[in-house]
Structure 1
């Protein structure tokens, strides 16, 4: 298990580091079609940083499936409602869109503060 502190770190840098660890790309036994990665714990997701005006200008879209059902939300609104969703969307976008990718989506946990229940796993800290 690996732990990453997202305090004052850019969103993309935290997400890409986590995605490569989840895939197992940091290990010499990496194989693209096998889950060889570690589980990742990300703490302080509410303190993640976006550069420039991305808090207001970065817009996430989804569609309800109904006619005219396009919905949008800014990064600032997501941070106010559920800060962990910003990192979750970024990491999910960096993992493969296959059966393996759906399995790898279960290999990370994101917490808004520095409290987490995984102390028994003895996670190793990763610096960015």
Structure 2
């Protein structure tokens, strides 16, 4: 009989993948990144093990948005106190801090556990084309 092999955390080899966001649709980038971070693109994907790769997104401020999401979509934050709901427009977040917007969007597609939190730590986002991870990236 053949059995499905379950990946073990100490046997996983992680790669570094660079994604250039120039003129790509924001949502398509995020779904691709979430798939890579979870490790679903690998043949030995195991749901309870962090088997994904590191992802570096460059030129994050040059992504495109489909429809009119930049003008209409809002993000809400709440501190827990009464009346402390704050609204942030997507266009303001994209102009001021695109790194935070990418991480927030990717976090919504990952598991809501400590495993998902550890997966999100492997995401590195940079607004420009320069990044300090050139030594880790092969070829």
Q: How far has the Cα of 1:80 moved from its partner?
A: 2.0
- DSSP-derived class of the 2:28 partner: helix
TM-score, normalized by length of structure 1? Answer: 0.92
RCO comparison, higher one (Cα < 8 Å, 6+): 1
Unaligned runs of 5+ in 2: 1-15
Q: What is the aligned partner in structure 2 of residue 118 from structure 1?
A: 133
- Taking the aligned partners of 1:44 and 1:2, their CA distance within structure 2 comes to 14
**Alpha-carbon distance in 2 for matches of 1:102, 1:79:** 22
| CA offsets 1:51-79 (integer angstroms, 9 cap, x no match) | 11111101001112111111001111102
Q: Please tell me whether residue 83 in structure 1 is matched to residue 98 in structure 2.
A: yes
Q: Provide the rounded CA distance (Å) in 1 between the counterparts of 2:91 and 2:138.
A: 30
In structure 1, the partner of 2:89 is 74
Structure of greater Rg: 2
Distance in 1, Cα, partners of 2:105 & 2:64: 13
Deviations 1:6-26 (A, max 9, x none): 111111110110010011001
Q: What TM-score do the two structures reach when normalised by structure 2?
A: 0.85
Q: CA RMSD in A?
A: 1.1
Structure 1 unaligned regions, length at least 5: none
Q: Distance in 2 between matches of 1:3 and 1:10?
A: 16
Aligned residue pairs: how many?
124
